[in-house]
Amino acid sequence: MSTNLKLFHETCLSCSKLTTNAYSSSFSLGIQVLDKKFHEAIYAIYGFVRFADEIVDTFHEHDKKRLLEEFKAATHQAIEDKISLNPILNSFQWAVNKYQIENELINAFLKSMEMDLVKKDYDQAGYKEYIYGSAEVVGLMCLRVFTEGDNSLYQSLKEPACSLGSAFQKVNFLRDLKADYEGMGRTYFPGISFHNLNKEDLETKGKEIFSEEKKAEIEKDIEEDFAYALTGILNLPKGSRFGVYLAYKLYLRLFKKIKNTAASDILRRRIRISGAGKCLILMQCIGKV
């Protein structure tokens, strides 16, 4: 590889790292404690999924459908050509080609992004499909990186990795219940729909739809995901185990805060973990795995 081409790829990877650090302090912290050999690929994956998510969640004044179609086409072209002038896609194609990430995972992810353009609520089948595409496959992409071509190890850890992605996404749905509806008119949990409720009604009538019983039912499902995910984390290769465990503990702490928050309060405010709280969790994780 020529010096200038190497510089181009390094610059693109820097863009993916910048994107990750700008958008997610939790994942950035988790990546930093991975073995350095994994950093660039995980930044590349996060940058890709973040940009796709921005199209469907943020670009309200633009033609989202067209932008997503162009992004999808450019993604596959970048993977085929093994280069792209879009720095995020160039980083992603490098990771895909280096670690042999399957097209099925990429297509499932992009399909879930397409679902965000048209669906406002979900039945059980649609909910499972959306979570698989939006979260579980992202975990599987990362698992391809962590297992470094060892397909037997990948297959043995595949289901727990899906459970971890599922747990993370469901926690996100709970945390963002208010913002997702007010900002985009979406509710993801089956049996919960706030259609025709304005912002004032969401905090009053909304608690009849998102009841304590419904919240507890969702939390039980998430607890099962977390428990199964841990069995896989403990069997990850050493270079990735601590970083994934830290992400698991950060989300588990967020989940516990949500569990201890009344359903009506979740419809009023977004639950967070402070920067100091995240640092404390990091300290507590040292030596645990």
CATH assignment of the domain containing 100: 1.10.600.10
CB 224 within 8 A of CB 255: no
Beta strands in the chain (DSSP E): none
Three-class secondary structure of residue 102 per DSSP: coil
Distance CA 214, CA 151 (A): 39
Task: Give burial (CB, 10 Å; 0-12/13-18/19+) of 120.
Answer: middle
What per-residue string of b and e applies to 33-44 under the rule 16 or more CB within 10 Å gives b? Answer: bbeeebbbbbbb
Which residues, 6+ apart, have CB-to-CB distance to 22 below 8 Å? none
DSSP state of 133: I
CB-based contacts of 232, cutoff 8 Å, min separation 6: 157, 159, 160, 161, 163, 164
Structure tokens at 85: 């002038």
Find the largest Cα–Cα distance for the chain: 63
User: What are the 10-residue block averages of pLDDT along the chain, 289 residues in total?
Assistant: 89 97 88 96 97 95 97 98 98 98 98 94 94 98 98 98 98 92 88 75 74 94 98 97 96 96 90 92 93
CB contact at 8 A, 142 and 42: yes
Q: What's the burial of 166, exposed, middle or buried (CB within 10 Å: 0-12/13-18/19+)?
A: buried
CB 53 within 8 A of CB 135: no
At position 265, the amino acid (one-letter code) is D
Alpha carbon distance 8, 5 (integer Å): 5
Domain extent, residue 143, equals: 3-285
Measured CA to CA, the distance from residue 232 to residue 136 in angstroms comes to: 14
Give the residue from 207, 197, 201, 203 showing the smallest Cα distance to 263: 207
Q: Record the pTM.
A: 0.93
Domain tally for the chain? 1
Among residues 73, 67, 231, 53, the alpha carbon closest in space to that of 158 is found at 231
Write down the pLDDT at residue 4: 86
Q: Are 55 and 63 in contact (CB under 8 A)?
A: no
CA distance 45 to 194: 33
SS3 121: coil
How many Cβ atoms are within 10 Å of 79's Cβ, its own excluded?
20
| Half-sphere exposure in the Cβ direction for 190 (13 Å, CA) | 11
Q: What is the pLDDT of residue 201?
A: 65
What pLDDT shows up at residue 199? 66
d(CA 173, CA 186): 10
